[in-house]
Structure 1
């Protein structure tokens, strides 16, 4: 004999829907009456799980920030410089190519035996024809990588990934006003015209990408600002749970002017990025053993007259700064990292991009 149910079957099927709806409503509102906890075990469990998750996330961030990433990155940099025997080069590089999806057909030298160490392989050059320059767009991609975020700067806050912001002032450092009028926000200090707005775009370079970065437009670099700092990973997964990640990490900020006003290109360091090189600035040294938290070092290129040349770069310094042309090689990372462009443009400026889109050096970024 089948057991009898305490109530008719149709009624039994209808009760949970109403009960679950009430419980979800109570949870979403964030308020539950103490007298009802013993009647709502599911809500009680969800509450303790949410508190535990927040605590674990906080501890996770604190633990990760305590890791000596600068020391590890310097050690990795030394390891990259160790010359590999000929018999070991091909297996090591083949494994790396398979793991990170490297396209060696684009490399200027495809023969794996040519690269004496991992550092040379990471910094491999490309064939000139594989990165055609978009001539119809005033702004092109400075690097190979993935578009993390882009858009208009609002309230002097910039998004490193969707929903996670950081302070523009913390990222760029203090600025001098371009006008005598008092500014209502930090963004106003950068704008040369009230008819313009500030925009930004973030390009993430994965370990398998080409590690050089190029000038995205014709512009003049007036100042280099170097922020020593941490070298945490800048992968999208980490950028989602560490607010202000780009402000904590070591970075090199190049600022100056382009046809619409203020323009900046920032190379953000990351774990295992033992160095950030700027070809026309031989005085720049990154990831040094000692630094003071919160400090930065400036070098002005204004009022200097000389010629400088680097690997793949011939930049001229005049009394107005370093003149760079669109597509010109500017520098390189050791392994992957991030490039952040912050610039002034007319209010009708618009990007021709999608979040998560793969992009390559020289491809157009906008429709202006």
Structure 2
């Protein structure tokens, strides 16, 4: 019951209003505000700046510039495996898709067509596999390709901005299908693949490398977004494809013919971008 009562106030919060305020504050170049935000963050979270391209916090122009920091070349080697983690983070859940049903947490499920929206042909994903990866605040927040693929569709799906921390995930029904998100679909050697970038409370800003920032502002209805031009639609394994401006969750949706995700990656297991996900 503790998770329920801690999460209950989120139903009353002005999700998008709060996220817009955080969006403005984290992009401020005011030396005082930038320094205060960075100082509070670094006091609370352990961040390994030795692996970043800019190791001195003073070299970042804003808090968001720090939050979306790039890493030194070679800091995340891409393993020789058919499927690698697209992000640094923690496994929330992973396993088989039962028809259209995806396991969320603690007996809760949601449907594939709710997650991917009406404009998506879900047939290729039925009875496939999924992996839900949670990015904690201290993680590296750029998103990379888990395998090579060609972008086939990208859709912005408006929604709420509930927190996606483990406690909230356990108690809010259909959480990932209710939150604002961007679903990016690819054609791969194994068939269709989707990467769903989930927004969250105070995390209303999602972007891809070819569209730039998609949210905010939010919209009232889903919209199909432009594809990358020409040859740039083909992305290599390990190539950067997007980022969260503040942290959230990525859900990887795979077809039946894709490699099996290792059962050793139990809920709570830590992963790094480029690490093999297969058995």
Q: CA deviation at 1:92?
A: 4.5
Q: Is the 8 A contact 2:26 2:34 kept in 1?
A: no
Q: CA deviation at 1:256?
A: 2.3
Distance 2:223 2:27 in 1: 27
Instruction: Compare relative contact order (CA 8 Å, sep 6+) and give the higher one, 1 or 2.
Output: 2
Q: CA deviation at 1:271?
A: 1.3
Distance 1:300 1:85 in 2: 36
- 2:276 paired with 1:359: no
Question: Unaligned stretches of 5+ in structure 1?
Answer: 1-52, 178-186, 308-315
Aligned positions, number: 278
Question: Unaligned stretches of 5+ in structure 2?
Answer: none
TM-score with structure 1 length normalisation?
0.70
Pick one of 110, 113, 119 that aligns with 2:58.
113
Counterpart residue number, 1:182: none
Counterpart residue number, 1:67: 13
Counterpart residue number, 1:142: 86
* Aligned positions of 1:4-153 closer than 5 A: 57=4, 61=8, 63-85=9-31, 92-135=37-80, 137-153=81-97
Pick one of 275, 284, 288 that aligns with 2:217.
288
Distance 1:117 1:164 in 2: 38
Question: Aligned-residue CA RMSD in angstroms?
Answer: 2.5
Question: Deviation above 4 Å: which 4+ runs of structure 1?
Answer: 56-60, 88-92
Counterpart residue number, 1:170: 114
Counterpart residue number, 1:299: 225
- Report the CA distance shift for 1:162/1:257 in structure 2 as closer, same or farther (over 3 A): farther
Higher Rg of the two aligned structures = 1
User: Tell me, what secondary structure is at the counterpart of 1:229?
Assistant: coil
Q: CA deviation at 1:346?
A: 2.8
Q: Is the 8 A contact 2:83 2:259 kept in 1?
A: no
Q: Is the 8 A contact 1:83 1:116 kept in 2?
A: yes
TM-score with structure 2 length normalisation?
0.90
- 2:249 paired with 1:338: yes
Q: CA deviation at 1:298?
A: 1.2
- Report the CA distance shift for 1:57/1:208 in structure 2 as closer, same or farther (over 3 A): closer
Bigger proportion of residues as helix: 1
Q: CA deviation at 1:162?
A: 4.1
Counterpart residue number, 1:239: 169
